[in-house]
Structure 1
Amino acid sequence: MDRCQWTDVLLEIGGGATATGSAHRSKFVVFYVHGWKHNSAPADSDLQNFTALVAKLTDAKKNSGQDVVGVFIGWPGASSPVPGLKNLTFWDRKNAADRAIAVSNVTKLLGAAANIKRRRSDPKDFITAIGHSFGARILFSSVAPVLLHNQSMAHPGGHGVYDAFYGAANLTILLNPAFEASRFSAFNSNRRIQEQYNRAQEPTLLTISTLNDYPTRFAFSAGQLLTGRWSERERTTLGNYGDYVTHTLRKTASAPQQLADARWFDQFCEKTKNERGNEETLCLTRTAQEAQPGNPFLVARTDGTILNGHNGIWKDTFQTWLIKFIEATELAQRQQK
């Protein structure tokens, strides 16, 4: 990792080399870890799309008193420049993602950013981390130990109510994540009706997978079988493992009927406009099987009309909805402090 880039990122998050006390502006920081077939080259489509997302966030935040800081985290997700050969690099790039996990640079960077946020003590500072595909694999493996540690430290010690807790990022978002459902098992084991989540607890992890993401639905499973991973949780990605799904994201004509004991993120609906300019309502809704209200680890499924395929995460309607969800989470967490 380039030390100069590292220093520049942390100085930008901190408000500059000379920023002290109340003189600096609040920061809204968004990290992005790209996925398979991408890298940090200037012409890379993910870098261009992320730059456009930062521009949208900057526009949305123009009256908030916050500076938007976008951080694109690159790794060698593309190893072949030949279009036809790119599809053959899936498992090789999976191994490259695991090597990126092993050196712990993303964990270190998020921890450093969280420490800057802690020292600044600005209630309007907010950190979002987004990962896609194998980038979501890298990001999840980087944040999971801290999240599990903080959740354990917030445990009531018996049957009761957790204290509110978060990770290094205020909100981590995983889009079409390419990792085994088994990696989420420790989180799922905490879905117990014997303990409840605090009313002050807001979302800290949101995963969204689409049903027509064929690389994670079929190719991933086939590769796992070829390497001897026979159990369903090891050969199936998180978004395709039904037992771990807590929410659905769907288009709807109107808001669904209110759930019992629902938190705002158990039924979050926002109006967007599609490519034809027609108004649509996208609703994130807790599934009937999810019996633990307020679970801050949301595992959502959607379909191709919202996320179209493995790389369909940049669709305008979905981006509009996602920005609204991030803003709602930011506001809710700030109000709980």
Structure 2
Amino acid sequence: MPNKPYWVSDWKRNPQAVEPAQVDPKRFSSRLAVVELDEQGDLWGGHQLETARKMVYDSPKRPLLVIYIHGWQTNAHPKNRDLQTFSNFIAKLEAAPEVKDYFTVTGVFIGWRGASYTSESSLTGIGYIARQASFWSRLDATNRVAGVPLTGAISELVSAARSCPSDRGVSMLIGYSFGGRILERTLGQALVSQHAYSSDQDGALLPADLTILINPASESLYARQLKLAMKNWKSPHPAIISLTSESDLVTAVAWPAANWISNIFGGFRKYIRKGTKESQKSFVVSTAGHDPRMPTHAFVYEGPATVPDGRSAFEYNADKATAQRFYVSQPNGTSAYGLETLPGNRPGVLPTGGYWVLHVPSEILKGHGGIFEEGGIFSEQVTDVLAALYSITNTDAIRSTQRVELNTSR
């Protein structure tokens, strides 16, 4: 597939892109922008980023910025289902009464070359095999995408939301599958640097009000490194929240198999911690969501329940959710959930370190990508949970408008 962008600014298709065609902008939310990166992780010029930045900064009301990084086997093609699903999610946020009365929503889709093959021939036979075999080349590509240009783009967009003349905005970062790996690596070094800097200052400024990894296809080794580097994190506001579906077989089965093969001759050592030895390779062939040493919190199902005051689950969660009680919409009503902090003295468990890891019940998120007809990873259930997590982790005392206090005792 040629290394070319799909979009120029203002929703105009790039005439030099693959399969150039006129696209009806009505298919997409008017509050959606696309920022693309090439095979080497460079931005395609500055026009896309400037268009997105201006949309955020010129928000007539308080900005609500949602930045999304997609996963494997997808890109920013206008016919791509991932792009359409994210656009629908932004449109739903725009239409929600509890959002539209107070915020101007802007969604930014970060497109990268997650798909090496897009033709019909890649769906069957040898083409299908080649498409699956692209896993390793696209895994390598995520390392290049998670570089300085993307870090700068995210920082510039979040800064635009925070400095908006109308009001200081709210920002949310979401990475899905390989996009979760990209987001984790993009933010990781900056977070550790902020942590070290805060030893002599008044805390670390979080990169966003909420940073979510959904079914991240990423080695638990990197989560381990971040947790240990930020082990003295004191604030209840996490830097990163990782959500993995209990029924996600891609990160539970396919990831370990693929990485075991590619690391047969890798150089690994043993970690010695608390008198026990752990294989470094075990962290490479596992994702954080399926590594028993990683989970920090758990969803607690409390049963069917009615949302108070006749509100929707999303509306209630965005305003009043607590770790003890929030609500999730279901096909036949609404269910109540709580969020339990798991004991930190479990065998082999790593410190929380500002990095939450949770298993998500299949009733909330099905499989690796959710059900497309129900919104995929942006289903009503997941949206309810995102609202709850924002409310739970952003109390008046723990806003990212302030510096988060870190415990720097040794």
Which range, TM-score by smaller chain? 0.7 to 0.9
Report if the CA contact (8 A) 2:213-2:242 is conserved.
yes
The answer for the alignment partner of 2:142 in structure 1 is 97
Match of 2:228 among 189, 210, 216: 189
Match of 1:77 among 75, 97, 114: 114
Distance of aligned partners of 1:335 and 1:33 in 2 relative to their CA distance in 1, 3 Å threshold: closer
Name the SS of the counterpart of 1:207 in structure 2. strand
Q: Kindly state the Cα deviation for residue 79 of structure 1 after the two structures are TM-superposed.
A: 2.1
The answer for the alignment partner of 2:70 in structure 1 is 34
Distance in 2 (CA, whole Å) between partners of 1:124 and 1:175 is 26
Pair 1:48-2:84 in alignment: yes
Q: How does 1:106-255 map to 2 (within 5 A)?
A: 106-117=150-161, 119-120=163-164, 124-155=168-199, 163-190=202-229, 192=231, 195=232, 197-198=234-235, 201-228=236-263, 229=266, 231-253=281-303
The answer for the alignment partner of 1:279 in structure 2 is 334
The answer for the alignment partner of 1:270 in structure 2 is 326
The answer for the alignment partner of 2:3 in structure 1 is none
Distance of aligned partners of 1:197 and 1:294 in 2 relative to their CA distance in 1, 3 Å threshold: farther
Distance in 2 (CA, whole Å) between partners of 1:295 and 1:122 is 35
Name the SS of the counterpart of 2:212 in structure 1. strand
Report if the CA contact (8 A) 1:265-1:284 is conserved.
no
Distance of aligned partners of 1:309 and 1:68 in 2 relative to their CA distance in 1, 3 Å threshold: same
Q: By percentage of residues, which structure has more helix?
A: 1
Moved over 6 A (4+): 290-294
Report if the CA contact (8 A) 1:250-1:303 is conserved.
no
The answer for the alignment partner of 2:27 in structure 1 is none
Distance in 1 (CA, whole Å) between partners of 2:84 and 2:367 is 19
Distance in 1 (CA, whole Å) between partners of 2:345 and 2:106 is 35
Mark the runs of 5 or more structure 1 residues left unpaired by the alignment. Answer: 17-23, 256-263
How many residues align structurally? 310
The root-mean-square deviation of aligned C-alpha atoms, in Å, is 3.0
Report if the CA contact (8 A) 1:205-1:298 is conserved.
yes
Distance in 2 (CA, whole Å) between partners of 1:67 and 1:232 is 44
Q: Kindly state the Cα deviation for residue 128 of structure 1 after the two structures are TM-superposed.
A: 0.8
Amino acid at match of 2:340: T
Name the SS of the counterpart of 2:71 in structure 1. coil
Name the SS of the counterpart of 1:222 in structure 2. helix
Output the TM-score relative to the length of structure 2: 0.67
Q: Percent identity?
A: 24
The answer for the alignment partner of 1:309 in structure 2 is 367
**Greater radius of gyration (CA):** 2
Name the SS of the counterpart of 1:284 in structure 2. strand
Distance in 2 (CA, whole Å) between partners of 1:88 and 1:294 is 35
Residue range with higher mean Cα deviation, 53-62 or 5-14: 53-62
The answer for the alignment partner of 1:61 in structure 2 is 99
Q: Kindly state the Cα deviation for residue 266 of structure 1 after the two structures are TM-superposed.
A: 8.5
Name the SS of the counterpart of 1:244 in structure 2. coil
Distance in 1 (CA, whole Å) between partners of 2:321 and 2:197 is 23
CA offsets per residue over residues 39-96 of structure 1, 9 Å max, x none?
11222121121112112222231222x2111001111212223234143432232122
Amino acid at match of 2:90: V
Distance in 2 (CA, whole Å) between partners of 1:178 and 1:241 is 12
Report if the CA contact (8 A) 1:57-1:323 is conserved.
no
Distance in 1 (CA, whole Å) between partners of 2:186 and 2:249 is 25
